[in-house]
Structure 1
Amino acid sequence: MNPAQIKLVQESFGKVAPISEQAAVIFYDRLFEVAPAVKAMFPADMKEQRRKLMTTLAVVVNGLSNLDTILPAASALAKRHVNYGARPEHYPVVGGALLWTLEKGLGPAWTPDVAAAWTAAYGTLSGYMISEAYGGPRAAE
């Protein structure tokens, strides 16, 4: 990721943060629509899970300009996800649901540059998490 992409991710997330509860609902609804089998990995009451998602996203987005500050937490999170049943093939599905949610939440502010920046951010982080949890290849960035 380059500094311009980091800025785009951070600025666009700033527009989503005020509607974080709604965005989290949209995200999980989309995730369960496209990958119904993963719903069993989540609690019946999703309120706390939605809060954790948005809190984690905020930490990651704010730490993008200094990845070393967020990588230890990302590693721990990836390893915990293995215990919940997450597999490497789930990461692209989650990424797709996240990008879809952002597109819906940002509306006209979801530009090709913003989409590319979020795609790069998710690719970088998910590649790292897969490597940490499963020993696969890391993202190149």
Structure 2
Amino acid sequence: MVISICYSHNNIEYGEFIPPDFEKSAIDGEPDVPENSGYSLMSLDDDYNIYVCGKLKNNNGETDVYFTSDINNNVWVKLQIISETGEIIGETGIVKPGQYVKTIKLKNAPNKDFEVKLKVVGYEPETYHSGGSAEMKTTIDFKQ
């Protein structure tokens, strides 16, 4: 029992990697996205492409992102919404190739328009080694 406690303590101290969960709300296929959402391709490298909305709205603490992992991707991906202060205010779990996530819940989102970064993180399947990441700046409009 003592070994177990010391082992756990060391893992926390050194920042053990805990793989993210898979997104429970992920949907297989391609989304039907409204035309005025700024939905576009983000090509991250030869291993993967994702699609995401660039025009976001805070609608009662949620925003539609239509975060889509291209069916031909060689990596799993996730999306984080990061505030100007660096706080993650919304994120998906892991999305597999050929899946999408329509909506992300926001936490601590102000009741006004605000700037954010959308950060895409890639993971090699099974090993969770880094598949690279990319960021895009945008604004979340407060919808009244």
TM range (shorter): under 0.3
Structure with more relative contact order (C-alpha pairs < 8 Å, separation 6 or more): 1
TM-score of the two chains, using structure 1 as the length reference: 0.25
Higher strand share: 2
TM-score of the two chains, using structure 2 as the length reference: 0.25
| Bigger Rg, structure 1 or 2 | 2
